[in-house]
A and B are shown apart, each in its own frame.
Chain A
Amino acid sequence: MSRRLPKEQYEHTLSYRVKEWLKGTKDPFLGNVEMKPQKEFQEDRKTIVRRDREKKRLFEQIYDIKHNPEIRIFRRAYNIFSVLFCLFLVTMLLLAVSDLPKFGNASNPVNNEVAARYIENGLQETGAVNIVTGMILDYRAFDTLGESHVLFVATCTVLILLRLDGDKKGRSGVGYVMENDRIYEPKNDMILQTVARIVVPPIFIFGIYIILCGHLGPGGGFSGGAVIGAGLILYLNAFGFAKTERFFTQKTYRRTSFCALACYALCKSYSFYTGANHLESGIPLGTPGAILSSGLILILNICVGIVVAGTMYTFYVMFRKGDY
Protein backbone atom coordinates (compact mmCIF):
# COMPACT_ATOMS: atom_id res chain seq x y z
CA MET A 1 0.00 0.00 0.00
CA SER A 2 1.14 3.52 -0.64
CA ARG A 3 2.27 5.49 2.34
CA ARG A 4 2.13 9.21 2.80
CA LEU A 5 5.38 11.10 2.36
CA PRO A 6 6.18 14.37 4.02
CA LYS A 7 6.01 17.31 1.66
CA GLU A 8 9.74 18.01 1.44
CA GLN A 9 10.43 14.37 0.58
CA TYR A 10 7.64 14.30 -1.96
CA GLU A 11 9.05 17.30 -3.76
CA HIS A 12 12.21 15.32 -4.53
CA THR A 13 10.46 12.35 -6.12
CA LEU A 14 10.27 11.78 -9.85
CA SER A 15 6.48 11.76 -9.99
CA TYR A 16 6.26 15.22 -8.45
CA ARG A 17 8.69 16.61 -10.99
CA VAL A 18 6.87 14.96 -13.90
CA LYS A 19 3.60 16.38 -12.61
CA GLU A 20 5.12 19.82 -12.32
CA TRP A 21 6.53 19.55 -15.82
CA LEU A 22 3.16 18.46 -17.21
CA LYS A 23 1.35 21.30 -15.50
CA GLY A 24 3.91 23.73 -16.79
CA THR A 25 4.56 25.34 -13.42
CA LYS A 26 8.25 24.63 -13.66
CA ASP A 27 10.44 25.13 -16.68
CA PRO A 28 13.27 22.55 -16.61
CA PHE A 29 15.48 24.81 -18.72
CA LEU A 30 15.10 27.87 -16.51
CA GLY A 31 18.27 28.39 -14.56
CA ASN A 32 20.02 25.42 -16.15
CA VAL A 33 20.72 26.80 -19.59
CA GLU A 34 22.87 29.85 -19.91
CA MET A 35 20.89 32.54 -21.61
CA LYS A 36 21.48 36.21 -22.05
CA PRO A 37 18.32 38.01 -20.99
CA GLN A 38 17.26 40.63 -23.47
CA LYS A 39 17.08 44.24 -22.41
CA GLU A 40 13.62 45.60 -22.18
CA PHE A 41 12.77 47.90 -25.03
CA GLN A 42 12.85 51.47 -23.87
CA GLU A 43 12.40 54.48 -26.03
CA ASP A 44 13.89 57.85 -25.36
CA ARG A 45 11.68 60.82 -25.02
CA LYS A 46 13.77 62.46 -27.71
CA THR A 47 13.21 59.71 -30.29
CA ILE A 48 9.46 59.71 -29.63
CA VAL A 49 9.30 63.44 -30.25
CA ARG A 50 11.44 63.09 -33.36
CA ARG A 51 9.34 60.26 -34.74
CA ASP A 52 6.16 62.25 -34.28
CA ARG A 53 7.70 65.28 -35.89
CA GLU A 54 8.93 63.26 -38.86
CA LYS A 55 5.56 61.66 -39.34
CA LYS A 56 3.93 65.07 -39.35
CA ARG A 57 6.54 66.33 -41.75
CA LEU A 58 5.99 63.37 -44.07
CA PHE A 59 2.34 64.23 -44.46
CA GLU A 60 2.68 67.99 -44.61
CA GLN A 61 5.80 68.59 -46.63
CA ILE A 62 6.55 65.48 -48.67
CA TYR A 63 3.05 64.29 -49.50
CA ASP A 64 1.62 67.81 -49.19
CA ILE A 65 -1.77 66.39 -48.48
CA LYS A 66 -3.62 69.70 -48.47
CA HIS A 67 -2.65 70.45 -52.04
CA ASN A 68 -2.62 66.90 -53.38
CA PRO A 69 -6.14 65.53 -53.07
CA GLU A 70 -5.27 62.51 -55.25
CA ILE A 71 -2.91 61.17 -52.59
CA ARG A 72 -5.61 61.48 -49.95
CA ILE A 73 -8.08 59.72 -52.22
CA PHE A 74 -5.52 57.04 -53.04
CA ARG A 75 -4.80 56.36 -49.38
CA ARG A 76 -8.47 55.98 -48.61
CA ALA A 77 -9.19 53.89 -51.71
CA TYR A 78 -6.21 51.68 -50.90
CA ASN A 79 -7.70 50.77 -47.52
CA ILE A 80 -11.13 50.08 -49.00
CA PHE A 81 -9.80 48.05 -51.91
CA SER A 82 -7.54 45.94 -49.73
CA VAL A 83 -10.54 44.90 -47.63
CA LEU A 84 -12.62 44.28 -50.74
CA PHE A 85 -9.86 42.21 -52.33
CA CYS A 86 -9.51 40.06 -49.21
CA LEU A 87 -13.27 39.50 -49.13
CA PHE A 88 -13.24 38.58 -52.83
CA LEU A 89 -10.40 36.13 -52.27
CA VAL A 90 -12.15 34.54 -49.27
CA THR A 91 -15.40 34.17 -51.22
CA MET A 92 -13.67 32.62 -54.21
CA LEU A 93 -11.77 30.13 -52.08
CA LEU A 94 -14.85 29.19 -50.07
CA LEU A 95 -16.86 28.69 -53.27
CA ALA A 96 -14.10 26.49 -54.69
CA VAL A 97 -13.99 24.43 -51.50
CA SER A 98 -17.77 24.03 -51.47
CA ASP A 99 -17.56 22.50 -54.95
CA LEU A 100 -15.20 19.77 -53.77
CA PRO A 101 -16.65 16.37 -52.85
CA LYS A 102 -17.31 15.85 -49.16
CA PHE A 103 -14.24 15.01 -47.15
CA GLY A 104 -13.85 11.39 -46.13
CA ASN A 105 -16.60 10.06 -48.33
CA ALA A 106 -15.84 6.48 -49.37
CA SER A 107 -16.94 7.02 -52.98
CA ASN A 108 -14.74 10.07 -53.58
CA PRO A 109 -12.65 9.89 -56.74
CA VAL A 110 -9.55 10.60 -54.65
CA ASN A 111 -10.05 7.36 -52.79
CA ASN A 112 -10.68 5.20 -55.84
CA GLU A 113 -9.77 6.50 -59.26
CA VAL A 114 -6.83 8.86 -58.74
CA ALA A 115 -4.42 6.44 -57.11
CA ALA A 116 -5.37 3.63 -59.48
CA ARG A 117 -4.77 5.85 -62.49
CA TYR A 118 -1.40 7.02 -61.17
CA ILE A 119 -0.23 3.47 -60.71
CA GLU A 120 -1.67 1.98 -63.89
CA ASN A 121 -1.12 4.75 -66.43
CA GLY A 122 1.73 6.66 -64.77
CA LEU A 123 4.46 5.09 -66.84
CA GLN A 124 2.77 5.66 -70.21
CA GLU A 125 1.55 9.17 -69.48
CA THR A 126 4.59 10.68 -67.78
CA GLY A 127 7.36 8.42 -69.04
CA ALA A 128 8.99 8.33 -65.61
CA VAL A 129 10.02 4.96 -64.21
CA ASN A 130 9.84 6.37 -60.69
CA ILE A 131 6.11 6.89 -60.25
CA VAL A 132 6.62 9.21 -57.26
CA THR A 133 8.56 11.69 -59.38
CA GLY A 134 5.99 11.34 -62.14
CA MET A 135 3.28 12.31 -59.66
CA ILE A 136 5.19 15.18 -58.08
CA LEU A 137 6.49 16.79 -61.25
CA ASP A 138 3.91 15.90 -63.83
CA TYR A 139 0.43 15.34 -62.43
CA ARG A 140 0.95 17.70 -59.52
CA ALA A 141 3.66 19.99 -60.85
CA PHE A 142 1.66 23.03 -59.80
CA ASP A 143 2.05 22.04 -56.13
CA THR A 144 5.79 21.67 -56.58
CA LEU A 145 5.99 25.12 -58.15
CA GLY A 146 4.22 26.44 -55.05
CA GLU A 147 6.75 24.64 -52.84
CA SER A 148 9.67 26.19 -54.71
CA HIS A 149 8.12 29.60 -54.26
CA VAL A 150 7.61 28.94 -50.56
CA LEU A 151 11.33 28.23 -50.29
CA PHE A 152 12.13 31.41 -52.20
CA VAL A 153 9.84 33.50 -49.99
CA ALA A 154 11.40 31.91 -46.89
CA THR A 155 14.84 32.95 -48.09
CA CYS A 156 13.59 36.47 -48.75
CA THR A 157 12.24 36.62 -45.19
CA VAL A 158 15.53 35.36 -43.76
CA LEU A 159 17.37 37.95 -45.82
CA ILE A 160 15.10 40.71 -44.52
CA LEU A 161 15.35 39.64 -40.89
CA LEU A 162 18.98 38.60 -40.57
CA ARG A 163 20.86 40.66 -43.10
CA LEU A 164 23.21 43.17 -41.56
CA ASP A 165 22.84 46.49 -43.22
CA GLY A 166 26.47 47.41 -42.76
CA ASP A 167 27.56 50.73 -44.12
CA LYS A 168 31.05 50.45 -45.52
CA LYS A 169 32.59 52.98 -43.14
CA GLY A 170 31.59 51.47 -39.80
CA ARG A 171 32.92 48.02 -40.57
CA SER A 172 35.42 47.97 -37.74
CA GLY A 173 33.03 48.83 -34.91
CA VAL A 174 32.51 46.62 -31.90
CA GLY A 175 29.02 45.60 -33.00
CA TYR A 176 30.26 44.53 -36.38
CA VAL A 177 33.01 42.38 -34.89
CA MET A 178 30.52 40.81 -32.47
CA GLU A 179 27.99 40.04 -35.17
CA ASN A 180 30.40 38.97 -37.85
CA ASP A 181 32.20 35.81 -36.78
CA ARG A 182 34.21 35.61 -39.94
CA ILE A 183 37.20 36.64 -37.82
CA TYR A 184 36.86 33.64 -35.54
CA GLU A 185 36.48 30.98 -38.17
CA PRO A 186 39.19 28.30 -38.26
CA LYS A 187 41.56 29.17 -41.03
CA ASN A 188 43.96 26.25 -40.92
CA ASP A 189 42.08 23.31 -39.46
CA MET A 190 44.15 20.51 -40.99
CA ILE A 191 41.74 17.63 -40.29
CA LEU A 192 38.66 19.47 -41.47
CA GLN A 193 40.32 20.74 -44.63
CA THR A 194 41.73 17.34 -45.60
CA VAL A 195 38.42 15.61 -45.00
CA ALA A 196 36.54 18.30 -46.89
CA ARG A 197 38.95 18.06 -49.82
CA ILE A 198 38.25 14.33 -50.07
CA VAL A 199 34.54 14.31 -49.24
CA VAL A 200 33.09 17.41 -50.92
CA PRO A 201 33.50 16.38 -54.60
CA PRO A 202 31.73 13.00 -54.08
CA ILE A 203 28.94 14.84 -52.22
CA PHE A 204 28.46 17.20 -55.15
CA ILE A 205 28.54 14.34 -57.66
CA PHE A 206 26.07 12.33 -55.58
CA GLY A 207 23.72 15.32 -55.37
CA ILE A 208 23.91 15.89 -59.12
CA TYR A 209 23.26 12.18 -59.66
CA ILE A 210 20.19 12.32 -57.41
CA ILE A 211 18.85 15.30 -59.34
CA LEU A 212 19.54 13.93 -62.82
CA CYS A 213 18.27 10.41 -62.13
CA GLY A 214 15.19 11.54 -60.23
CA HIS A 215 12.89 10.09 -62.86
CA LEU A 216 14.72 6.75 -63.02
CA GLY A 217 15.27 5.90 -59.37
CA PRO A 218 14.74 7.29 -55.90
CA GLY A 219 15.55 10.94 -55.60
CA GLY A 220 14.55 14.17 -57.20
CA GLY A 221 15.15 17.87 -57.12
CA PHE A 222 14.49 18.53 -53.47
CA SER A 223 16.69 15.83 -51.94
CA GLY A 224 19.49 16.33 -54.45
CA GLY A 225 19.44 20.07 -53.86
CA ALA A 226 19.58 19.51 -50.11
CA VAL A 227 22.62 17.23 -50.53
CA ILE A 228 24.42 19.82 -52.68
CA GLY A 229 23.54 22.55 -50.18
CA ALA A 230 25.01 20.45 -47.35
CA GLY A 231 28.19 19.97 -49.41
CA LEU A 232 28.44 23.73 -49.93
CA ILE A 233 28.06 24.31 -46.19
CA LEU A 234 30.84 21.79 -45.45
CA TYR A 235 33.12 23.47 -47.98
CA LEU A 236 32.38 26.87 -46.46
CA ASN A 237 33.17 25.61 -42.96
CA ALA A 238 36.46 24.15 -44.05
CA PHE A 239 37.84 26.87 -46.28
CA GLY A 240 36.10 30.04 -45.16
CA PHE A 241 34.07 32.70 -46.88
CA ALA A 242 36.84 34.03 -49.10
CA LYS A 243 37.01 30.77 -51.07
CA THR A 244 33.28 30.30 -51.52
CA GLU A 245 32.65 33.90 -52.48
CA ARG A 246 34.72 33.33 -55.59
CA PHE A 247 31.96 31.25 -57.10
CA PHE A 248 28.84 31.79 -55.01
CA THR A 249 27.69 35.22 -53.93
CA GLN A 250 24.34 36.78 -53.33
CA LYS A 251 24.24 37.89 -56.94
CA THR A 252 24.76 34.30 -58.11
CA TYR A 253 21.99 33.12 -55.81
CA ARG A 254 19.57 35.79 -57.02
CA ARG A 255 20.25 35.10 -60.68
CA THR A 256 20.24 31.30 -60.54
CA SER A 257 17.10 31.04 -58.43
CA PHE A 258 15.28 33.60 -60.57
CA CYS A 259 16.25 31.73 -63.75
CA ALA A 260 15.26 28.37 -62.25
CA LEU A 261 11.88 29.59 -61.02
CA ALA A 262 11.13 31.39 -64.29
CA CYS A 263 12.17 28.34 -66.32
CA TYR A 264 9.93 26.12 -64.20
CA ALA A 265 6.99 28.49 -64.55
CA LEU A 266 7.45 28.80 -68.34
CA CYS A 267 7.74 25.03 -68.90
CA LYS A 268 4.73 24.30 -66.78
CA SER A 269 2.64 27.13 -68.27
CA TYR A 270 3.32 25.67 -71.71
CA SER A 271 2.20 22.20 -70.70
CA PHE A 272 -0.84 23.56 -68.82
CA TYR A 273 -1.82 25.64 -71.84
CA THR A 274 -1.57 22.73 -74.24
CA GLY A 275 -3.18 20.31 -71.82
CA ALA A 276 -6.15 22.53 -71.02
CA ASN A 277 -6.82 23.20 -74.71
CA HIS A 278 -6.38 19.55 -75.73
CA LEU A 279 -3.43 20.34 -77.98
CA GLU A 280 -0.46 18.16 -78.74
CA SER A 281 2.37 19.41 -76.51
CA GLY A 282 5.06 18.16 -78.89
CA ILE A 283 7.37 17.15 -76.05
CA PRO A 284 8.68 13.63 -76.71
CA LEU A 285 8.38 11.26 -73.77
CA GLY A 286 11.23 9.05 -74.93
CA THR A 287 11.86 5.48 -73.95
CA PRO A 288 11.23 4.90 -70.24
CA GLY A 289 14.50 4.16 -68.47
CA ALA A 290 16.73 6.36 -70.62
CA ILE A 291 18.25 9.44 -69.00
CA LEU A 292 16.79 11.80 -71.62
CA SER A 293 13.20 10.72 -71.24
CA SER A 294 9.91 11.56 -69.55
CA GLY A 295 9.40 14.96 -71.13
CA LEU A 296 9.83 17.98 -68.89
CA ILE A 297 10.53 16.12 -65.65
CA LEU A 298 14.32 16.27 -66.01
CA ILE A 299 14.33 20.04 -66.59
CA LEU A 300 11.94 20.64 -63.70
CA ASN A 301 14.09 18.48 -61.41
CA ILE A 302 17.16 20.55 -62.26
CA CYS A 303 15.27 23.80 -61.60
CA VAL A 304 14.02 22.62 -58.19
CA GLY A 305 17.49 21.34 -57.30
CA ILE A 306 19.12 24.71 -58.06
CA VAL A 307 16.55 26.59 -55.98
CA VAL A 308 16.85 24.23 -53.01
CA ALA A 309 20.67 24.16 -52.99
CA GLY A 310 20.87 27.95 -53.10
CA THR A 311 18.24 28.29 -50.40
CA MET A 312 19.99 25.95 -47.96
CA TYR A 313 23.33 27.67 -48.46
CA THR A 314 21.77 31.12 -48.08
CA PHE A 315 20.04 30.11 -44.85
CA TYR A 316 23.36 29.00 -43.42
CA VAL A 317 25.24 32.12 -44.49
CA MET A 318 22.52 34.43 -43.19
CA PHE A 319 22.50 32.72 -39.81
CA ARG A 320 26.27 32.69 -39.65
CA LYS A 321 27.17 36.14 -40.83
CA GLY A 322 24.18 38.11 -42.00
CA ASP A 323 25.92 39.17 -45.17
CA TYR A 324 27.51 37.60 -48.21
Chain B
Amino acid sequence: MQIFTWILMGFLVVCAVSVSFSRNLLNSILIFMSYSLVMSVIWILLESPDLAITEAAVGAGITSVLFFITLKKIHAIMKTEDDEDE
Protein backbone atom coordinates (compact mmCIF):
# COMPACT_ATOMS: atom_id res chain seq x y z
CA MET B 1 0.00 0.00 0.00
CA GLN B 2 2.93 2.29 0.72
CA ILE B 3 4.22 1.83 -2.82
CA PHE B 4 0.74 2.55 -4.24
CA THR B 5 0.60 5.82 -2.26
CA TRP B 6 4.03 6.83 -3.56
CA ILE B 7 2.98 6.12 -7.15
CA LEU B 8 -0.11 8.27 -6.70
CA MET B 9 1.96 11.07 -5.16
CA GLY B 10 4.36 10.98 -8.09
CA PHE B 11 1.40 11.13 -10.47
CA LEU B 12 0.12 14.19 -8.62
CA VAL B 13 3.44 16.01 -9.01
CA VAL B 14 3.65 15.13 -12.70
CA CYS B 15 0.07 16.32 -13.24
CA ALA B 16 0.63 19.58 -11.39
CA VAL B 17 3.73 20.40 -13.41
CA SER B 18 2.26 19.40 -16.76
CA VAL B 19 -0.89 21.50 -16.21
CA SER B 20 1.20 24.65 -16.33
CA PHE B 21 3.42 23.47 -19.18
CA SER B 22 0.67 22.20 -21.44
CA ARG B 23 0.11 24.41 -24.45
CA ASN B 24 -3.41 23.33 -25.19
CA LEU B 25 -5.85 24.73 -22.64
CA LEU B 26 -8.25 21.83 -23.18
CA ASN B 27 -5.49 19.35 -22.36
CA SER B 28 -4.56 21.21 -19.21
CA ILE B 29 -8.16 21.05 -18.00
CA LEU B 30 -8.24 17.29 -18.61
CA ILE B 31 -4.99 16.91 -16.68
CA PHE B 32 -6.44 19.02 -13.88
CA MET B 33 -9.46 16.70 -13.79
CA SER B 34 -7.25 13.63 -13.41
CA TYR B 35 -5.31 15.47 -10.70
CA SER B 36 -8.55 15.90 -8.72
CA LEU B 37 -9.48 12.26 -9.23
CA VAL B 38 -6.11 11.00 -7.95
CA MET B 39 -6.35 13.46 -5.08
CA SER B 40 -9.67 11.94 -4.05
CA VAL B 41 -8.11 8.47 -4.02
CA ILE B 42 -5.37 9.85 -1.79
CA TRP B 43 -7.99 11.33 0.56
CA ILE B 44 -9.47 7.83 0.91
CA LEU B 45 -6.02 6.42 1.70
CA LEU B 46 -5.68 9.15 4.35
CA GLU B 47 -8.99 7.90 5.84
CA SER B 48 -11.10 10.96 5.18
CA PRO B 49 -13.92 9.76 2.90
CA ASP B 50 -15.93 12.95 3.45
CA LEU B 51 -13.29 14.98 1.66
CA ALA B 52 -12.89 12.31 -1.01
CA ILE B 53 -16.55 12.56 -2.02
CA THR B 54 -16.42 16.35 -2.13
CA GLU B 55 -13.17 16.36 -4.10
CA ALA B 56 -14.53 13.91 -6.66
CA ALA B 57 -17.82 15.79 -7.09
CA VAL B 58 -16.52 19.35 -7.06
CA GLY B 59 -12.93 19.09 -8.26
CA ALA B 60 -13.27 16.48 -10.96
CA GLY B 61 -16.86 17.22 -11.90
CA ILE B 62 -18.22 20.69 -11.61
CA THR B 63 -15.07 22.80 -11.69
CA SER B 64 -13.93 21.16 -14.92
CA VAL B 65 -17.35 21.60 -16.50
CA LEU B 66 -17.31 25.29 -15.62
CA PHE B 67 -13.78 25.54 -17.11
CA PHE B 68 -15.01 23.91 -20.31
CA ILE B 69 -17.86 26.38 -20.73
CA THR B 70 -15.53 29.27 -19.99
CA LEU B 71 -13.16 28.07 -22.72
CA LYS B 72 -16.10 27.84 -25.07
CA LYS B 73 -17.19 31.35 -24.17
CA ILE B 74 -13.76 32.85 -24.84
CA HIS B 75 -13.50 30.82 -28.08
CA ALA B 76 -10.40 28.92 -26.99
CA ILE B 77 -11.59 25.44 -28.01
CA MET B 78 -12.03 26.55 -31.62
CA LYS B 79 -8.44 25.61 -32.47
CA THR B 80 -8.91 21.89 -31.93
CA GLU B 81 -12.01 21.90 -34.10
CA ASP B 82 -10.01 23.53 -36.88
CA ASP B 83 -7.33 20.86 -36.51
CA GLU B 84 -9.91 18.13 -36.95
CA ASP B 85 -11.18 19.77 -40.13
CA GLU B 86 -7.78 19.85 -41.75
Contact = CB atoms under 8 A, between A and B. Distances in A.
Interface of A: 28-29, 32-36, 130, 132-133, 181, 210, 217-220, 222-223, 226-227, 229-230, 233, 312, 315-316, 319-320
Q: Which residue among A132, A181, A319 has the maximum number of chain B CB atoms within 10 Å of its CB?
A: A319
29 contacts: A28-B23, A29-B23, A33-B23, A33-B25, A34-B76, A34-B79, A35-B74, A35-B75, A36-B75, A132-B50, A133-B50, A210-B53, A217-B49, A218-B52, A219-B50, A223-B50, A223-B53, A223-B54, A223-B57, A226-B58, A226-B62, A230-B61, A230-B62, A230-B65, A315-B62, A316-B62, A316-B65, A316-B66, A316-B69
A208 to B, nearest CB: 14
Nearest to A38: B74
A34 B78 contact: yes
Contact of A319 (B61, B70, B79): B70
Contacts of B53: 210, 218-219, 223, 227
A67 B58 CA distance: 57
Contacts of A320: 69
B81 to A, nearest CB: 10
Nearest to A207: B57
Q: How large is the interface on B (under 10, 10 to 19, 20 to 34, 35 or more residues)?
A: 20 to 34
Contacts of B25: 29, 33
Nearest to A237: B65
Q: Which residue among A33, A132, A181 has the maximum number of chain B CB atoms within 10 Å of its CB?
A: A33
